[in-house]
Amino acid sequence: MAHETSLRAAYESHFRVGAAVNAATVRTHADIVARHFNSVTPENEMKWERIHPSEGQYDFVSADQIVLFARDLGMFVRGHTLVWHNQTPAWVFLDDLGQPAPAKLVEARLEAHIAEVVGRYRGVVGCWDVVNEAVIDQGDGWLRPSRWRTALGDEYIEKAFRLAHQADPSALLFYNDYNETQPDKRDRILRLLEHLLDRGAPVHGVGLQMHVSLDDPPVEQMEAAIERYRALGLRLHITELDVSVYPWVHEPDRPQHPTRPYDEEVAEKLAARYEALFALFLRHADAIDNVTLWGVADDATWRDDFPVKGRKDWPLLFDVEHRPKEAFWRVIRLVRG
């Protein structure tokens, strides 16, 4: 019966099933989260601009709310994220005169930030996305040009992992990225991970975001990538799963698919896609510990504004009225056999 079914219980012997929550949905969607998920990721509340808006001023109010909610329910918490080129305030990279800060100063700020944030949640946040999206999408080269890289050089990544490990030696440390199954980008990510492992950096896992569409990327491409990542001996987390009903067009200047209604055809395609994805995760469940959806229900999803602002999307397992969708039932039936 519907009210007795639980996604997390159905997958208990395979991997944790998580959801990104935020300061609002942890209240408005609390029932679904409590019943169906056993892992949460704060969507924005641990990002630098939120948790450390000006130098030495930390704001833990929203992050604490999420962490306490999870602790009361015995859930795993994924920390997201320590070092990223987005949602990081400009002051981090500037001196008192507004000029680019010297490397020493930026490094000291990175050190203070990681010690404070990771230290606060030691023993409560089970893993951290230490570095998010450091690899370029296409073209020549390897690492994304970013203020971090300009200030600290390529070593900022290894540094961040070592600092996080110092701050909480028991936390599992992840590198997290998107378009992670696209072969060129996959190879660049693999190169980065191999480099870090060769140098003995404390990297324990790779986060595969999996912001996908109804038919792209193909499952074969995704499986090939999973096989390559797991061969490094790292743990795998699916960190930000959602399935847009629109084809993936990231370049804002290219024509975009117009808004489409959520009808039976879309519901069925979404269900088939989710079933194929969870079947893939089950085939690799010995390497995958966590499958997290980037949101709880379709009434609160970043996809409504990305890559097109204000275009309604239906990427999750629960609908705008918080009812389980056909995709939810397909994922449940799949694991029950």
Binding residues (CB under 6 A) for ligand HAH: these are 43, 132, 178, 209, 211, 240, 250, 302
Least Å distance between CB 332 and ligand HAH?
Answer: 26
CA–CA separation, 21 and 218 (whole Å): 28
CA–CA separation, 282 and 42 (whole Å): 25
The dihedral built from the CA positions of residue 287, 327, 178 and 103, taken in this order, carries a sign that is negative
CA–CA separation, 207 and 179 (whole Å): 11
- CB nearer to ligand HAH: give 38 or 179: 179
| CB half-sphere exposure, 3, CA atoms < 13 A | 0
Least Å distance between CB 192 and ligand HAH?
Answer: 16
- CB nearer to ligand HAH: give 240 or 319: 240
**Angle subtended at Cα 294 by Cα 181 and Cα 26, rounded to the nearest 5 degrees:** 160
What is the β-pairing status of strands 211-213 and 127-132? unpaired
Least Å distance between CB 335 and ligand HAH?
Answer: 27
Least Å distance between CB 177 and ligand HAH?
Answer: 8
- CB nearer to ligand HAH: give 88 or 209: 209
Q: Dihedral of the CA atoms 307, 43, 108, 165 (nearest 10)?
A: -120
CA–CA separation, 114 and 120 (whole Å): 10
Would you name the residues annotated as active-site residues? 133, 240
